[in-house]
Structure 1
């Protein structure tokens, strides 16, 4: 079973598209942990769970020292849905795995199994605001189609599609932490082997290293993670009113836009999944519970973004 899982807070009506995309691209199950939502996205996930599209777990991090993602990770590793998965990916609410030279997730997993791989480093392709100040109607994957012309230093960052096993000690938002001494065969975005030590690299802060070596970053891509960290400028302003998943209170300061809001080149490869996503969303919204929860999330998001002021954005820093 191929699983995508996530930790979320206050992702609003975009939750519906994200869940439907994961199904359309070929994941068998979707597992989402939410913490302390204030925008109705947890109610929307409850409705989607009742419709059979997602497994939703509520928990709280109020009063805890742990970052929200770390708190969720401790719960996820023992979750029965995760435990029955054979392959898994942690994808945040602004991340969409995009197969490029293979049709879907099952085909990508087959390619990995053919190479006896245990994990694949899937690098980011970051997408900017694409000129949107206000929230556009329609799909995220269609509205935000502009990125940098060349790969930036931020696109050394990868997420990990991995084979679940008892060799995994902890989960982490970018990749698992394997037990010391575990034999892990990890491949790059072109399915070529990464050095043996790649799976065990740790950063100075004790978290696992999620950067591709510089000489590997520009290799061809069999698949990637489409990353939409900005969306419209009003959505960005709303996003930075909340604590990041890693607990970094200042993470979404104005300098963030210098790194991520780059709109030089049009990239539409992901659009091939849009019809399936749209059809699945339409089917889900035919259910009264999903429709009502989604509409409520839209209303609350619109009320909140209306109070933001894009004129205050500075790109310094």
Structure 2
């Protein structure tokens, strides 16, 4: 059974091996990876992984006005791997699917809700854990502090990623969810991060004040350390090139309210998987060259006055507070009043006491 992960990468070389090794551990069999405009050797590492039969790598240089991530997803929908896959997920290299059911693998997730054809797995935002320096240690081991189980605001807290069974009626791949022909309902039976029935709409948000991670979650390591954030800021966003990565981006995501170490159940196997990759002479050389490249970029950034000032402000910035739930709900209501959206019919199983989902524009 093919379980396919699709992603796009640019200058992510230090993080590739951990991300692939982890998702292989939990049951993904194939990786379709598009890369563009790489300066740190990401494309060379992917070429070597392709030679070893680990991934399928497709160069995706920037062309035209459409963002590179959407260009890649447009190409990926007709790729032979996508046409053959039974299950598909689109995720970034800073997103790790964590399954709480059973032994934490895809088979356990599917067994927990055997009739499900799609899982809308919610983000859990992991902050910087107070780390300033860029280190080559595993991301999942370094960053263990995150947002709480219940969070309604900021809106990003309500976003999800989709793991779904391939269906010809899902005609396009999306960053957060697959898409049907315009106006057509999404086929199949979808569930949320608790395994409860979920109505997939044209929104990438599933806003609720309730706990959301009972069955699965996406560990979203969007920031990394303060030094690493400088490199990410210079790279920009793959799917919204017009929106900057700046201090506001950091504040909206730097949640360190609780410790969540559940992904570390795989730590021994993950270290072994990464070490096996690094034992390859070519991959090992490219990996350490990428580490050196990132350290140079950080050093160069800190010699620039404006970037150094930003760095110091990030260091001075306290952890982003989790607002009282009553205030979160008020901000959400204010947002809906200022930017009203059309709501789809509410499923019969859904009640105000059990969920407070709303569709919001991304």
TM-score w.r.t. the length of structure 1 is: 0.90
Structure in which a larger fraction of residues adopt strand: 1
Q: Note the C-alpha offset of 1:106.
A: 2.0
In the alignment, which residue of structure 2 is the partner of 1:289? 282
Structure scoring higher RCO (CA < 8 A, sep ≥ 6) equals 1
Give the stretch that moved more between structures: 261-270 or 246-255: 246-255
**170, 187, 190: which one pairs with 2:191?**
187
CA contact (8 A) 2:101 2:215 kept: yes
CA contact (8 A) 1:127 1:261 kept: yes
CA contact (8 A) 1:68 1:247 kept: no
Task: Describe the shift of the 1:4–1:214 C-alpha distance in structure 2 as closer, same or farther (beyond 3 A).
Answer: same
Paired residues of 1:99 and 1:224 also in contact (CA < 8 A): yes
User: Which residue does the alignment assign to 1:34?
Assistant: 35
Partner Cα distance (1:31, 1:4) in 2:
6
Distance 2:17 2:35 in 1: 14
Query: 1:249-281 CA deviation, whole Å, 9 max, x = no partner?
Result: 333121111111122221100001111111111
Residue 342 of structure 2 corresponds to which residue in structure 1?
none
Structure-to-structure mapping, 1:42-81, within 5 angstroms: 42-62=43-63, 64-81=64-81
Q: Deviations over 1:68-101 (max 9, x none)?
A: 1110011100111121110011110100000112
The residue that corresponds to 1:101 in the other structure is 101
Alignment of 1:1-317 (within 5 A): 1-62=2-63, 64-103=64-103, 104-112=105-113, 114-115=114-115, 117-152=116-151, 153=153, 154-179=156-181, 180-194=184-198, 198-199=199-200, 201-202=201-202, 209-214=203-208, 217-309=210-302, 311-313=309-311, 314=313
- Write the deviation string for residues 209-246 of structure 1: whole angstroms up to 9, x where unpaired: 1111425x524520110000000011111101123111
Whole-angstrom CA distance in 2 between matches of 1:155 and 1:247: 18
* Gap regions ≥5 residues in structure 1: 203-208
Alignment size in residue pairs:
302
Q: Secondary structure at the match of 1:72?
A: helix
What's the CA shift for 1:31?
A: 1.5
CA contact (8 A) 2:149 2:212 kept: no
Residue 329 (structure 2) aligns with? none
